[in-house]
Amino acid sequence: MLSFFKSYKKFAIVFSILSAIILAIFYNILKVDKPLPIYQPISVQPELVDSTIQHVSKYHKIANFELINQNGKIITQDDYKNKIYVADFFFTTCQTICPIMTDNMVEIQKEIMNDNDVMLLSHSVTPTIDSVAQLKKYATEKGINDTKWNLVTGDKKHIYDLARKSYLAVKTYGNGDEYDMIHTENFMLIDKKRQIRGFYDGTNTEEIKRLLKDIKTLKKEYNK
């Protein structure tokens, strides 16, 4: 009787191990990454969205744009065609959250350096201050690679409209100047269809890890 229980015990152990292995195999086979959401104006904090589009619940995309980068080159949506990219809003003289955001974007740059599918785009919210020369100086100081990352300036109304009506990323001062804006700490993940797929706190290292993970998830959409 004792030998029977010993044999049964061995069988139970082997069976448990095999069951765990089989379950793990099935889990990996069946595991499917949950698709990233597609953000619409109606689902974003109203203070970040222009009042004219707060009701929009589908088909929202980043509008066409024409801006100037740190090298004096005109940058348009065509430079980001068929690219996944991370966008943000900043200004070079900012002494609060911008340095942290830029440092974290530099870390993202390192991770995507050899990935031809992914780029970065930073918009100045003080374009009258952030001239091409100023952006170039800032890019050099921060180690920004211009093949992966454009810092852009241009017409203030155009940038304001992009921020409020496309990226849903800045607040207004509310001081009577309709084109003044306060940028947030948000990084936005944009897909190849120019849709917003994620918002992230650009000052938080854990959020940066989540962003990098979401980039991988998004890339899988295009590898199916």
- Which superfamily is assigned to 41-221 in CATH? Glutaredoxin (3.40.30.10)
* pTM score of the predicted model: 0.84
- Residue scoring higher pLDDT (189 or 20): 189
The pLDDT > 90 percentage for the chain reads: 78
Q: In whole angstroms, give the CA distance from residue 127 to residue 61.
A: 24
Give pLDDT tens digits for 136-181. 999 999 999 999 999 999 999 999 999 999 999 999 876 656 678 8
Q: In whole angstroms, give the CA distance from residue 132 to residue 159.
A: 15
Residue 22 pLDDT: 58
Residue 179 pLDDT: 79
Average pLDDT rounded to a whole number, residues 1-24: 52
What are 134's two structure tokens?
Answer: 């100023």
Mean pLDDT check: name the lowest of 15-29, 35-49, 93-107: 15-29
| Locus of tokens 């991770």 | 111
Using the predicted structure, report yes or no on whether residue 4 has a pLDDT greater than 50.
Answer: no
Q: Whole-number mean pLDDT of the chain?
A: 89
Using the predicted structure, report yes or no on whether residue 45 has a pLDDT greater than 70.
Answer: yes
Average pLDDT rounded to a whole number, residues 40-64: 97
Residue 154 pLDDT: 97
Average pLDDT rounded to a whole number, residues 3-11: 52
Closest by CA position to 162, among listed 14, 78, 63, 18: 63
DSSP 165: I
For residue 175, the one-letter residue type is N
Give pLDDT tens digits for 91-115. 999 999 999 999 999 999 999 999 9
Using the predicted structure, report yes or no on whether residue 28 has a pLDDT greater than 50.
Answer: no
Using the predicted structure, report yes or no on whether residue 65 has a pLDDT greater than 60.
Answer: yes
Residue 111 pLDDT: 98
Domain ranges of the chain: 1-31, 41-221
Residue 5 pLDDT: 45
Residue 17 pLDDT: 61
Q: In whole angstroms, give the CA distance from residue 23 to residue 129.
A: 60
161 phi-psi bin (left φ>0, alpha ψ -120 to 50, beta other): alpha
